[in-house]
C-alpha cells in the first residue's frame, strides 16, 4: 500500500489569499453597484514590452524552419542569455559572476523551493517573519519543518527571524543555530531594503557559521536608493556563502511568461562539496530547461529599447507607490516601504489588528488589501498595499480613505 507524503497534512490551506478573496466576494455581493479597488495583488498589471514580444515572435518563427528549429536546449539555459545576464546584471555593477555560474529557470518560486534538495533535512532553516509564504511551504513539503503547532501556525524545527519596525524590518543575524537562511530584499511584504552594511553583517555571519544564504532578489529592479546593493554579490565574501535568485517576473512583467535565474558561484563549497556542481547535476536529471522562445524574450529585456520600456513601467509603479504612501501619510497613517519596492507597508491605526483594519478598508472604502499577519506573526498590526495597479485606482483609493478613515 502506498504511503503519501503526510507533511502535506500539516500544510495550511493558502488561507491568506483565499480568505481575502472570500471577504471581497461577500462585500461585492452586498454592494453590487460599487467597484472594488484591488490593492491586494502581488502580480504586475502592465502588459509585456514591445521588445520582449518582438523577440518572442521572431523566436517562434525560427522554430518553423528546419534549419533554425531547436529542440531540447541546454538544461542550464542558452549561453546568449547567461552571457548578457553576466554582463548587464553583474559586470556592469563591478561584480564577477561568470555565465557558467548562472542557471536559467522557469521562475524563481520553483528554484527557491527546489534548492532545498541540495541540503540535508537535519539543517535548521531560518525565515524572515513576515515572509513570502512559498519558502516555508517548500521547507514543509520537503521535510525540514518538524511538527506544526496549529494554534500559532508555526513549525517546531524552523527558525523565525522577527523583522521589527525598530530595525527597519531587517532581521538581526541569528543567535542560535541556523544552517540555511532565506533573505529577500527589497522585501515582499514589507517593502524594506537592506543596506550594504546590513547585508555585510549577514555575509560575515554566514561565512563564520558555515551557513548558506538564499537571497531572493525578485524586486531588484525597484531599487532607487544608491545605498542599497542590487545583488548580494556586491558584498565581499558573498560568493562563498550565498545563492541568489532573480526573476523577470516583476522586472519585465514576465509573471505569465515565466523566466528567472539562479546564481550559484563556484566558490560556494560546504563540507567539501561544491554546490554549483551539485545543482548542475540535479538539473540534468530534473529539468529540460526553459523554452527557447521565452529565453529570447528575456534576452530582449536587456536591449536598449527593452531597458527603456521596462524603465517606464517601473517608474509607473513607483509613482503609484508614491501616491499611496503620500496619501496614507496625509491621512495620518504610519507608512513604510514603497521606495525600493512596489509594496507599501502600513501600520494599522488605533492599535487595530490586521484583519480588523482590512475589514474597515473593505467595508468602508471598498478597498482590498492584504493583512500583514497573513505573512507571519510579526506582520500583525500591518497591511500590505501594492503599487501594481493602475494610477486611477491608486488615486481613487486615497480619495475614498480620506473621507472615511
Ligand atoms: C513575485 C515573487 C517572486 C517571483 O517568482 P517567479 O516564480 O519568478 O514569478 C519571487 N519571490 C518573491 C518574494 C516574490 O514576491
Alpha-carbon gap, residue 147 to 394, rounded angstroms:
42
Mutating to test ligand 1, I would choose from 16, 128, 138, 249 the residue with most ligand atoms within 8 A of its C-beta, which is: 249
> β-strands 370-371, 367-368: how paired?
unpaired
User: Which residue's CA is the closest to the ligand 1 atom numbered 15?
Assistant: 188
Ligand 1 atom with the shortest distance to the CA of 184: 13
**pLDDT band at residue 149, thresholds of 50, 70 and 90?**
confident
Ligand 1 atom with the shortest distance to the CA of 109: 7
Beta bridge partners of 347: 382
pTM confidence score: 0.97
Q: Is 109 in the pocket of ligand 1 (CB under 6 A)?
A: yes
Strands across the sheet containing 102-105:
102-105, 260-263, 242-247, 212-216, 180-184, 125-129, 159-162
Beta bridge partners of 129: 162
Chain mean position to CA 182 = 11
Q: Is 294 in the pocket of ligand 1 (CB under 6 A)?
A: no
Alpha-carbon gap, residue 279 to 273, rounded angstroms:
11
pLDDT averaged over the chain? 96
* Amino acid 346: pLDDT: 98
Q: Is 184 in the pocket of ligand 1 (CB under 6 A)?
A: yes
* Whole-number percent of the chain with pLDDT over 90: 95
User: pLDDT digit string (tens) for 346-401?
Assistant: 999 999 999 999 999 999 999 999 999 999 999 999 999 999 999 999 999 999 99
Distance from the CA of 104 to the center of ligand 1, in angstroms? 14
User: pLDDT digit string (tens) for 264-295?
Assistant: 999 999 999 999 999 999 999 999 999 999 99
> β-strands 273-274, 269-270: how paired?
antiparallel
Alpha-carbon gap, residue 142 to 121, rounded angstroms:
8
Average pLDDT over residues 229-234: 98
Average pLDDT over residues 165-185: 97
- pLDDT at residue 14 greater than cutoff 80: no
Mutating to test ligand 1, I would choose from 40, 247, 290 the residue with most ligand atoms within 8 A of its C-beta, which is: 247
Phi, psi of 236 (to 5 degrees): -60, 135
Q: Is 249 in the pocket of ligand 1 (CB under 6 A)?
A: yes
Ligand 1 atom with the shortest distance to the CA of 250: 1
C-alpha cell at 154: 508555526
Ligand 1 atom with the shortest distance to the CA of 132: 13
Mutating to test ligand 1, I would choose from 45, 104, 108 the residue with most ligand atoms within 8 A of its C-beta, which is: 108
* Amino acid 13: pLDDT: 74
CA dihedral 327, 224, 111, 290 (to 10 degrees): 110
Chain mean position to CA 119 = 22
Ligand 1 atom with the shortest distance to the CA of 260: 8
* Amino acid 11: pLDDT: 86
Q: Is 247 in the pocket of ligand 1 (CB under 6 A)?
A: yes
Cis peptide upstream of residue 372 (ω within 30 degrees of 0): no
Q: Is 188 in the pocket of ligand 1 (CB under 6 A)?
A: yes
Rg (CA), the chain: 21
Sign of torsion, CA 232 238 242 245?
Answer: positive
Query: Which residues have C-beta within 8 Å of that of residue 38, sequence separation ≥ 6?
Result: 24, 368, 389, 393
Beta bridge partners of 345: 336, 384
User: pLDDT digit string (tens) for 27-82?
Assistant: 999 999 999 999 998 899 999 999 999 999 999 999 999 999 999 999 999 999 99
* Amino acid 186: pLDDT: 98
* Whole-number percent of the chain with pLDDT over 70: 100
Three-state helix/strand/coil letters over the chain? CCCCCHHHHHCCCCHHHHHHHHHHHHHHHHCCCCCCEECCCCCCCCCCCHHHHHHHHHHHHHCCCCCCCCCCCCCCCCHHHHHHHHHHHHHHHCCCCCHHHEEEECCHHHHHHHHHHHCCCCCCEEEEECCCHHHHHHHHHCCCCCCEECCCCEECCCEEEECCHHHCCCCCCCCCCCCEEEEECCCCCCCCCCCHHHHHHHHHHHHHHCCEEEEECCCHHHCCCCCCCCCHHHCCCHHHCEEEEEECHHHHCCCCCCCEEEECCCCCEECCEEHHHHHHHHHHHHCCCCCHHHHHHHHHCCCHHHHHHHHHHHHHHHHHHHHHHHHHHHHCCCEEECCCCCEEEEECHHHCCHHHHHHHHHHHHCEECEEHHHHCHHHCCEEEEECCCCHHHHHHHHHHHHCCC
Alpha-carbon gap, residue 370 to 200, rounded angstroms:
31
Q: Is 253 in the pocket of ligand 1 (CB under 6 A)?
A: no
User: pLDDT digit string (tens) for 80-129?
Assistant: 999 999 999 999 999 999 999 999 999 999 999 999 999 999 999 999 99
Chain mean position to CA 146 = 25
| Least confident range of 4-13, 110-119, 175-184 | 4-13
Count of alpha carbons within 13 Å of 245, Cβ hemisphere only?
25
Say what angle helices 304-331 and 50-62 make with each other, to 10 degrees.
Answer: 140
C-alpha cell at 145: 519543518
**pLDDT band at residue 203, thresholds of 50, 70 and 90?**
very high
Q: Is 132 in the pocket of ligand 1 (CB under 6 A)?
A: yes
User: pLDDT digit string (tens) for 326-337?
Assistant: 999 999 999 999
Distance from the CA of 113 to the center of ligand 1, in angstroms? 11
Distance from the CA of 67 to the center of ligand 1, in angstroms? 36
Distance from the CA of 235 to the center of ligand 1, in angstroms? 23
Mutating to test ligand 1, I would choose from 16, 163, 219, 250 the residue with most ligand atoms within 8 A of its C-beta, which is: 250
Amino acid at each position: 500500500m502506498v504511503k503519501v507524503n503526510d507533511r502535506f497534512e500539516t500544510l495550511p490551506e493558502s488561507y491568506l489569499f483565499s480568505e481575502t478573496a472570500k471577504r471581497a466576494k461577500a462585500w461585492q455581493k452586498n454592494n453590487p453597484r460599487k467597484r472594488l479597488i484591488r490593492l491586494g495583488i502581488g502580480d504586475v498589471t502592465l502588459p509585456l514590452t514591445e521588445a520582449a514580444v518582438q523577440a518572442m515572435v521572431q523566436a517562434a518563427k525560427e522554430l518553423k524552419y528546419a534549419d533554425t528549429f531547436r529542440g531540447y536546449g541546454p538544461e542550464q539555459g542558452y549561453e546568449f542569455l547567461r552571457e548578457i545576464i553576466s554582463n548587464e546584471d553583474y559586470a556592469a555593477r563591478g561584480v564577477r559572476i561568470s555565465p557558467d555560474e548562472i542557471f536559467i529557470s522557469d521562475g524563481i518560486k520553483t528554484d527557491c523551493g527546489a534548492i532545498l534538495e541540495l541540503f540535508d533535512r537535519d539543517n535548521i532553516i531560518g525565515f524572515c517573519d513576515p515572509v513570502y509564504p512559498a519558502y516555508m511551504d517548500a521547507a514543509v513539503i520537503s521535510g525540514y519543518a518538524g511538527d506544526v503547532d496549529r494554534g500559532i501556525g508555526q513549525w517546531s524545527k524552523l527558525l523565525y527571524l522577527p523583522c521589527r519596525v525598530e530595525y527597519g524590518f531587517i532581521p538581526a543575524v541569528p543567535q542560535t543555530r541556523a544552517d540555511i537562511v532565506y533573505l529577500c530584499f527589497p522585501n515582499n511584504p514589507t517593502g524594506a531594503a537592506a543596506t550594504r552594511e546590513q547585508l555585510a553583517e549577514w555575509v560575515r555571519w554566514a561565512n563564520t557559521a558555515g551557513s548558506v544564504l538564499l537571497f531572493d532578489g525578485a524586486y531588484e529592479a525597484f531599487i532607487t536608493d544608491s545605498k542599497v546593493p542590487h545583488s548580494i554579490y556586491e558584498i565581499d565574501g558573498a560568493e562563498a556563502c550565498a545563492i541568489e535568485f532573480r526573476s523577470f517576473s516583476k522586472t519585465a512583467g514576465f509573471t505569465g511568461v515565466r523566466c528567472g535565474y539562479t546564481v550559484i558561484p563556484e566558490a560556494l563549497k560546504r563540507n567539501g562539496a561544491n554546490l554549483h556542481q551539485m545543482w548542475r547535476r540535479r538539473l540534468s536529471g530534473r529539468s529540460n530547461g526553459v523554452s527557447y522562445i521565452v529565453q529570447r524574450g528575456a534576452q530582449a529585456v536587456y536591449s536598449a529599447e527593452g531597458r527603456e520600456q521596462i524603465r517606464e513601467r517601473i517608474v509607473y509603479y513607483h509613482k503609484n507607490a508614491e501616491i499611496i504612501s503620500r496619501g496614507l501619510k496625509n491621512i495620518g497613517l504610519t507608512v513604510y516601504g514603497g521606495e525600493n519596492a512596489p509594496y507599501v507597508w502600513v501600520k494599522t491605526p488605533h492599535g487595530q489588528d490586521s484583519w480588523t483594519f482590512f475589514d474597515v478598508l473593505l467595508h468602508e472604502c471598498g478597498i482590498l488589501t492584504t493583512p500583514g499577519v497573513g505573512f507571519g506573526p510579526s506582520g500583525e498590526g500591518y497591511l500590505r498595499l501594492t503599487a501594481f495597479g493602475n494610477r486611477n485606482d491608486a488615486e481613487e483609493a486615497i480619495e475614498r480613505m480620506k473621507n472615511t478613515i
